[in-house]
């Protein structure tokens, strides 16, 4: 979705340049809507890339409209709704297998036109975070997660928070850049448990 929003921004810029040359001057909101309409018109659903990918919900609309700084009342309302919608494991357990979590964190597969509908997606976590100490190629968009459990502990409260944050980061920071993995259906419950274990299990290299 982030890529498509960038595309929308580029389309808006193109439309603005064209408008400077000739034609009626429209508002930024009108140009943004033109860009969204163009993307929806030209988007081809295939594989795991479905049409809902280009439909913004109220959270995305608020963050885009207010440049990631919605009015406080609206931010509190939407953040509370996102937190209330987090689906916690029915068995009350949050830890999976950290080794499986490392595989998910390394995998960038999923949600593209070439992915089959029944193929599991990865988390692509290293694209934004430092996690394992042996990994030398990682992004810095998000904070380092090295020693995540070592510094925070492994209490039930921390386990619940970590699971919830991976499920839907916008439940804690409305305009977070982090994908809503569980909320969007990108990762299932067991996959999220594996990632929680990667971050919190004392045996995980993250905490060595």
pTM of the predicted model as reported, rounded to 2 decimal places: 0.82
Residue found under tokens 């593209």 = 112
In the chain, the domains with their CATH numbers are: 2-84 (no CATH), 98-207 (1.10.760.10)
**pLDDT surpasses 60 at 3:** no
31-45, 88-102, 155-169: range with lowest mean pLDDT: 31-45
Residue 182 has pLDDT above 80, yes or no: yes
State whether the Cα torsion 70-76-77-79 is positive or negative. positive
Q: Whole-angstrom Cα distance, residue 15 to residue 49?
A: 26
The span from the CA of 101 to the CA of 96, in Å, is: 8
CB 71 within 8 A of CB 65: no
DSSP codes of every residue in 148-187: HHHHH---HHHHHHHHHHHH-GGGTSTT-SS--TTTTTSS
Q: Is the pLDDT of residue 18 over 80?
A: no
Instruction: Evaluate the CA torsion angle 22, 26, 31, 33 in order and state its sign.
Output: negative
Find, among 166, 208, 159, 158, the residue nearest to 184 by Cα: 166
| pLDDT tens-digit readout, 78-106 | 999 999 999 999 999 999 999 999 999 99
For residues 45 and 51, give the distance between their C-alpha atoms in angstroms, rounded to a whole number: 6
- Please give the residue that has the higher pLDDT: either 204 or 47: 204
Task: Give the per-residue pLDDT at 14.
Answer: 54
For residues 125-150, average pLDDT: 97
Q: How distant, in Å, are the alpha carbons of 24, 81, 97, 171 from that of 70?
A: 29, 15, 38, 15
Tell whether the model's pLDDT for residue 2 goes beyond 60: no
d(CA 192, CA 166): 7
47: left (phi over 0), alpha (psi -120 to 50) or beta: left
């Amino acid at each position: 979705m982030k890529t498509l929003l960038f595309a929308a921004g580029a389309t808006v810029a193109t439309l603005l340049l064209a408008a400077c040359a000739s034609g009626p001057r429209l508002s930024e909101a009108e140009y943004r809507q033109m860009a969204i309409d163009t993307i929806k018109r030209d988007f081809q659903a295939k594989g795991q890339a479905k049409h809902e990918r280009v439909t913004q919900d109220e959270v995305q609309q608020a963050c885009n409209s207010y440049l990631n700084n919605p009015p406080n009342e609206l931010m509190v309302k939407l953040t509370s709704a996102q937190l209330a919608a987090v689906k916690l494991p029915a068995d009350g357990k949050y830890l999976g297998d950290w080794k499986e979590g490392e595989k998910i964190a390394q995998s960038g597969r999923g949600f593209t036109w070439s992915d089959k509908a029944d193929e599991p997606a990865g988390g692509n976590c290293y694209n934004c975070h430092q996690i394992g100490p042996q990994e030398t190629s990682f992004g810095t968009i998000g904070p380092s997660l090295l020693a995540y459990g070592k510094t925070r502990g492994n209490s039930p409260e921390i386990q619940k928070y970590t699971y919830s944050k991976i499920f839907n980061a916008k439940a804690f920071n409305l305009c977070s850049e982090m994908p809503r993995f569980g909320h969007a259906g990108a990762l299932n419950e067991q996959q999220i448990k594996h990632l929680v274990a990667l971050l919190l299990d004392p045996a995980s290299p993250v905490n060595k």
